[in-house]
Amino acid sequence: MDLKDFKFTKEHEWVKVEGDIAVVGITDYAQKELGDVVYVELPEVGSTYEKDEACSNIESVKAVSDIYAPVSGEVTEVNEELEDNPEIVNKDPYGKGWLFKLKLEKPDELEELMSADAYDEYVQGITKE
């Protein structure tokens, strides 16, 4: 998978910018760590979040993980398909398993996120521990 258009956070989320919209999801590493996703609680369309604010959560069989807004903005769309088929997050985390879209409020924040290579290194650092 070519991830050069994706930006990453330390919370193992990704952002893909399409115009002034940021599509948000969790990384392949995150879905593997979580295990089978059984429930996705999505934010409400129209609500706004500051960067790093908890806005939704994902549950696997064993655990609950918060999802943080990787950048500030207003939720414009959520992936409603996940309500009935949460396992899509495991099957296609970078594609059909996207979580929600934010209207970018502060585009400069994107520069604080990691590139695919930097994220790879970050994950390797974690798994070595």
> In terms of CB distance, is 63 or 118 closer to another protein?
63
Q: Does 48 bind another protein (CB under 8 A)?
A: no
Strands 54-60, 48-49: pairing kind: unpaired
CB of 38 to another protein, least distance (A): 4
- Measured from the CB of residue 41, what is the shortest distance to another protein in angstroms? 8
Distance CA 52, CA 72 (A): 8
Is 38 a binding residue for another protein by CB under 8 A? The answer is yes
Closest separation in Å from C-beta 90 to another protein: 8
Yes or no: say if 42 and 20 are a contact pair by the CB < 8 Å rule. Answer: no
What residue type is assigned to position 22 of the chain?
A
